[in-house]
Amino acid sequence: MKFRLTDLRKEILSVIDNAKKPLNAKIVKKRLKSQPDFSSIYRSLDFLERQRFVYSVSFSGVKYYFTSKKGNGHFLICKECREILEFKDCVAESLQKRIQQKYNYKISEHVLYFEGLCLECQNYLHRKSKTMS
């Protein structure tokens, strides 16, 4: 089946490819020069994901998209401020090899993320708890 990268799909792909971290549809919309409605954005994101131009991961029920050009996704997400930090250290490679061998399964990619508190939120919550005591 032949597919077509429309102008909107190209623009969305460019926004995601140039992003430093995964973006949700709302952020993608803000960065677009054209002003499509959300249904067009979601259809385009779905198409780009099905064609493997982008990958997605859900954090707290919100879908975030990142470029497939970078390969596997590794993220830290702050439970307080929701800031997302991408990291390059792939601690999953040895686990991936063991899983492939154990289950006779060919893994093509993976997404790994950890949730916690960034340093700024840790400090804020620590100061807040001191003032409440």
Per-residue pLDDT reduced to its tens digit, 67-121: 877 777 788 989 999 888 888 777 778 888 899 999 999 988 888 888 999 999 9
Global pTM reads 0.78
Structural fold of domain 72-133: Dna Ligase; domain 1 (3.30.1490)
Q: Are 64 and 71 in contact (CB under 8 A)?
A: no
Cα–Cα distances (Å) from 106 to 29, 49, 67, 101, in that order, read: 36, 20, 22, 9
Query: In which band, very low, low, confident or very high, does the pLDDT at 1 lie, cut at 50, 70 and 90?
Result: low
Among 2.60.120.10, 3.40.50.300, 3.40.190.80, 1.10.10.10, name the CATH number for the domain at 1-71.
Answer: 1.10.10.10
